[in-house]
Structure 1
Amino acid sequence: MNISKLQIGKEYKNYKVLCSELGEPIKSGKSKILQLEQFKNHFSYEKKGNKFVISKVFDLPAQSNAKVKGRKLDKHTDLVRSLILDELNNSDNDGHLFITANQLLKSVDMINTNYTYAKRKLLRFAKYIDMGLDEVQEFFTTSDSMLKRSIESALNSLQNESLIIWNSALTVCKADLETLTYNDLGEVQLDVTETYNEFEEVNSEAKLLNSKGKFIHRKATEEEAKLIVTERKRLLKTVYKCDNVQEVFRKNKQDEFYQELRSILMEKANIYFFYNSYEITFTEEYVNEEWNEMMEYQINRLKGNVDIREIVNDSVINKLQANSLRRHKKALITDTSKKSIAAASRINMRMKDTYAENQNRLSELLIYNKAISIFNDMEEVNVQS
């Protein structure tokens, strides 16, 4: 978005003229509403009929001039870094934060609460928004990758400044109880009952054999991590004939793959499921000092007009939408005759006229930090309707 030409008091005839001045695409419906909200992160305006009158232009740091201790940073990375710093400064964990990847992304406004919920119930979500499952899976595959790079780039920035030390930590959900029936790792055995709803979503209920207990979430031990990586590779190589997990997704076999892996881990080690977390160690004194400097910068340079969370959220949405449009354009000029069946299918999906628009809809539902919760509406979806 180019706001360099905006002037206080300047009048624009209508929405299309304003977009032309900003170098922004013309949108409609919910996309237009979202875009107008995003404009407010950069400037304020008054409406006079169809006209837009600029009342204030916010003083944002230039894209190429964001610096940390003399080093240039990408603007987006710098802002995410600031929000992570804020999260650390406000935590009460005595210099040690153990947080899931999705929790960290949510805390810095890079996703909303719908994101994790929809990801767990892909089939129901696809039905809810009346979109192909392949397009929904495409969104999560591409967004997960982009979000991971973004958050870890900011973490690396903080680590390079010696403000933190971080690492990605494998986390397990498993039973914590008195052992009765033992498994291969000498832990209590669980019995898993699985049922499927009308969307073929699995509902697993784990019960302790001859006992009662609870599940805990914690960092995986070295032995547990080795078991997970060993069994995952064995399944990939011998059962699914894939070199990596991405190939499983391209073959649309991810549900079967993860369910089989889950059953194996439950049987061998009572691991109900596993996921990635971030383990961050920091010195509270130095983090607080850096945080105070950051707040002073915002007050003096940004004049208190800018909500960093809104800008980060806006940036994520713009990146995702730009990437989906780029994939669509690339697909249109790609020859699929020499591609594998799975690759050709993916390219054909991206060729559709509705592809970029549907990906934009998903970012509005799953990323936009003011999106309405879809929890209740999703649960009421009827497969017969």
Structure 2
Amino acid sequence: MGAIIIKIEILKPGKQFKNYKVMCQELGIEVKKSSNTKNAQFKELDRYCTYNKIGHSIIIDQVYETPLEKRKRKGNNTVYGDIMQVLILDMLAQKKDSGKLVISKSKLLRELNLVNLNYSHCFKRKTALSKFAGIEKETVKDFYDTTNISFICAIETALKTLQNKRLIIYNTTTKVSKNGIHSIASPDEERLILACERKVMLSLGYTDLRKLRISKDWDAFSKKSKKLLRETGNIEYYYSAYCITPNDEHLKDEMDHLLSKLDRLRYKSELNKKACYKLNVNGTKRHSGNGTLQKVFRKEWKYPQDIKTLIDIVIADTATLISQEILDLEERSHLDFDIEYSFPSSL
């Protein structure tokens, strides 16, 4: 099969194709019948954007300013691929009991040593991190958006590879925290989450969560949604998690993946160094990108240095824990927020 040439100027956030055939027509690619060639086309599309499939429709989510590198056929690994698979198998092999492993995405990032403890703590407190690091909030948000995409793609590629080897089966699920107890959300709890967030979203004048996520109202949406969930369902918060079922019988054949403590630390250290390097490279690429969708703040001379600073704070495994400093700054931010929203709407 020859090279796939896509009309990338057609790709815009929110762009919707009615079905696969319409997508091919608009992007100037051939309509294929075999699943293998269709998959190859979607893999090529993965280099330019993220997208969601809803029924037959394909909806473009985010478009990359700089296309991702084409994967090599031989090996077909991401930057982190082999190491990540070894560490996931090792994690499963360490389990004393058989059965499913349900682990949040943020905890899996920490277990693999892709990020340090500051990452999740600051993710929920981006304004405080912005003040702590002396970096504009839009750069902090951009860093987390792009980093999350990179890490989740890498993790799910590793999980899919292990699944294709029939060593695991995995899916994603929603977990809720109630009175400090974490459990998989029931159908009623999932419906309540949808209802509360829909109500708050509409009250802020939005009908699409993606548009709200990149707006100035996102913080207000998050705070009001959490408050409503607590009041109506006693749900403190919810989050996505991976549910991984290992092939216990054949995992025993992979017991050489049960690493020694020294090897485990070495693998994790190597993975963290690769993550720091790759994120620095990606930040430089975003800074030098010339796409029509290039964000103005990415062109600022200090953008690459700001990205490096954030990597040093929330990614590098040598970083100092800053939880207390961030909490102190968040308290001030909450005070400012409460004061702002305590004024009558007529003022």
TM-score by length of 1: 0.61
1:318 Cα deviation after fit: 2.1
Instruction: Please say if residues 119 and 314 of structure 2, whose CA atoms lie closer than 8 Å, have aligned partners that are also in contact.
Output: yes
Residue number in structure 1 paired with 2:286: 327
The corresponding residue for 1:43 is none
Q: Which residue of 314, 321, 326 corresponds with 1:366?
A: 314
- Deviation digits for residues 159-214 of structure 1, max 9, x if unmatched? 11111111111010114xxxxxxxxxxxxxxxxxxxxxxxxxxxxxxxxxxxxxxx
Instruction: Output the amino acid matched with 1:249.
Output: R
Q: How does 1:181-192 map to 2 (within 5 A)?
A: none
How far apart, CA to CA, are the structure 1 residues paired with 2:264 and 2:106?
A: 28
8 A contact 1:265–1:272 mirrored in 2: yes
Matched letter for residue 161 of structure 2: S
Cα distance in 1 between the residues matched to 2:252 and 2:173: 25
Shift of 1:243: 2.1
Counterpart of 2:95 in structure 1 is 91
Counterpart of 2:30 in structure 1 is none
Instruction: After TM superposition, list the pairs within 5 Å mapping 1:72-151 onto structure 2.
Output: 72-74=76-78, 76-151=80-155
Instruction: Give the drift of 1:108.
Output: 0.7
Indicate the SS of the match to 1:307. Answer: helix
Partner of 1:18: none
2:251 corresponds to 1:287: yes
- Between 1:114-123 and 1:279-288, the stretch displaced more is 279-288
Deviation at 1:234, TM superposition (A): 4.7
Aligned AA (2:185):
A
Which structure 1 residue ranges, 4+ long, deviate > 3 Å from structure 2? 63-67, 72-75, 233-240, 293-296, 376-384
Which of 354, 359, 384 is the aligned partner of 2:302? 354
User: Which residue matches 2:20?
Assistant: none
What CA distance in whole angstroms lies between the structure 1 residues aligned with 2:328 and 2:257?
48
2:93–2:258 contact (8 Å) kept in structure 1: no
The whole-number CA distance in structure 1 between the counterparts of 2:205 and 2:237 is 20
Residue 267 in structure 1 maps to residue 225 in structure 2: no
Q: What is the DSSP-based 3-state SS (H/G/I as helix, E as strand, rest coil) of the residue aligned with 2:270?
A: helix
Q: Displacement, 1:237? A: 5.0
Kindly indicate whether residue 310 of structure 2 is the aligned counterpart of residue 310 of structure 1: no
Contact 1:110 1:367 in 2 (8 A): yes
SS at match of 2:319: coil
Identify the structure with the greater strand proportion.
Answer: 1
Cα displacement string for residues 259-313 of structure 1 (whole angstroms, at most 9, x for unaligned residues) = 22222222332211111111111133322322416869xxxxxxx8993222211
Unpaired runs of at least 5, structure 2: 1-70, 334-347
What is the distance in 2 between the residues matched to 1:108 and 1:305?
Answer: 10
Which of 237, 251, 254 is 2:218 aligned to? 254
Counterpart for residue 217 of structure 1: 182
In structure 1, how many angstroms separate the alpha carbons of the residues matched to 2:90 and 2:186? 30
Note if contact 2:175-2:183 (Cα within 8 Å) is conserved in structure 1. Answer: yes
Instruction: Give the match for residue 46 of structure 1.
Output: none
Partner residue, 1:240: 205
Contact 2:204 2:217 in 1 (8 A): no
Q: Paired residue for 2:342?
A: none
Structure 2: how far apart are the matches of 1:264 and 1:377?
A: 28
Amino acid at match of 2:204: V
User: Structure 1: how far apart are the matches of 2:309 and 2:106?
Assistant: 20
Amino acid paired to 1:278: Y
Q: Which has the higher helix share?
A: 2
Change (3 A) 1:168 1:306: closer
For these two proteins, the number of residue pairs brought into alignment is: 261
TM-score by length of structure 2 reads 0.67
- What secondary structure sits across from 1:271 in the alignment? coil
Q: Which runs of 5+ in 1 are unaligned?
A: 1-62, 176-214, 297-303, 336-342
* Cα deviation, residue 66, structure 1: 7.6
- Residues of 2 paired with 1:267 and 1:119: CA distance? 24
The structural deviation recorded for 1:383 is 6.6
Structure 2 equivalent of residue 228 of structure 1: 193
